[in-house]
Amino acid sequence: MKKVIPIGADHAGFELKAALIKQLESAGYEMKDLGCYSEESIDYPDFGHPVAMMVEENEGMLGILICGSGNGINMTANKHQGVRSALCWKKDVAELARQHNNANIIALPARFITFKEAMEMVEVFLTTQFEGGRHVLRVDKIACG
């Protein structure tokens, strides 16, 4: 059974999203494209919330979000209690987000990274496991309520 990866982006992340989907599908992942579907200007929350909801409702699922700076779509995702979205701009940050923070969504800044950098970050994010141990207590304190 293929691992389903929900992915969403705003207009600034559309091109990077399309390239990542193509590459990840060729690597055997089943991608769930939750939009947007063109470079026409849209509002990032309209595409960040659906990915965050899918991740929140499916324990162990990892997701990908993309906008121009990565900030807006990351903030949107983190409004969901079951989501720990990490804004990543280099591979080491993506790896630590999984290892230490048990992040379940990676948010990428399309205007500031190359496709190669994005792919490296996504690959490490999808394959790195949460270390647990001393990090569990800290991660458990993130959610409100």
| Active-site annotation holder among 11, 36, 67, 88 | 67
In one letter, which amino acid is 22? K
Q: At what angle do helices 14-26 and 115-127 cross, to 10 degrees?
A: 50
67: annotated active-site residue: yes
Q: In angstroms, rounded to a whole number, what is the distance separating the alpha carbons of residues 41 and 44?
A: 9
**Cα–Cα distance for residue pair 126/94, rounded to 1 Å:** 9
Does 135 participate in catalysis according to the annotation?
no
Q: Would you call 42 helix, strand, or coil by DSSP?
A: coil
Active site residues: 67, 100
